[in-house]
Amino acid sequence: MVKTVSKSAISRKRLLDYLERERYLRTAKVRKAMEEVDRENFVRTSDKYLAYDDTPLSIGQGQTISAPHMVAMMLEELNLKKTDILLEIGSGCGYHAAVASQMVSQVTTIERIRYLYELACENLSDFDNISVVNGDGSLGFIENSPYHKIMVTCGAPRVPTPLIDQLEVGGLMVIPVGGRVAQELLTIERTSEGISVSRRPGVAFVPMIGTNAFES
């Protein structure tokens, strides 16, 4: 019996092969996580034909679903483990959290925009290890802290202090920091003596709005 492969599966494999060639994907565990989650289920119906293009797409309310290369890059930087408890700032449509959930024990994801919070809740309803919170991401979510890893999917003017406080010693955070349009992607490790930071220039995320971020 000949097994039929769907067009979306072919498109997804082509995308992941490209991300691997370009070194955005470096480990088998991140590739497997991206294979397990159908990006087409997280984009608008009118954009489904673009789901496996390496590009950000609008999800409404002036927000976007990140380009797949950025998702891969951030997940590789975090070096996620099955025992990790992860905090995500900026749920959007839920795609980033869905992929991350394949590699960790628990995800808490925060979305400030009510429409997108409800969209993420709907899209993530079948994911047992994800909790979606409607709130100010710049404050973090102290109830589930400390976190082994923190993933920020919106650009902040500076690293919010509550996020550092809620990251356990030895934990990692990836966060875009800079202006409202362009930022650097910081990888921050919290140590017993403070924090260490590495920087990757030239990223672009929607701005973080909140108490410890940009004003609306």
Round to whole Å and give the CA distance between 126 and 98: 10
All domains of the chain in start order, with CATH: 7-203 (3.40.50.150)
Backbone angles phi, psi at 26, to 5 degrees: -120, -15
- CA-wise closest residue to 206 among 99, 91, 72, 118: 91
- Predicted TM-score (pTM) of this structure: 0.95
Give me the catalytic one of 6, 8, 58, 66. Answer: 66
Q: Is 101 a catalytic residue?
A: no
Per-position pLDDT tens, the chain of length 216:
555 578 888 999 999 999 999 999 999 999 999 999 999 999 999 999 999 999 999 999 999 999 999 999 999 999 999 999 999 999 999 999 999 999 999 999 999 999 999 999 999 999 999 999 999 999 999 999 999 999 999 999 999 999 999 999 999 999 999 999 999 999 999 999 999 999 999 999 999 999 999 998
Q: In 6-149, which ranges are continuous DSSP H helix?
A: 7-21, 28-36, 68-78, 95-101, 114-123
| ∠ Cα 202 81 95 (to 5°) | 55
- CA-wise closest residue to 86 among 186, 171, 175, 210: 171
- CA-wise closest residue to 31 among 67, 66, 76, 65: 76
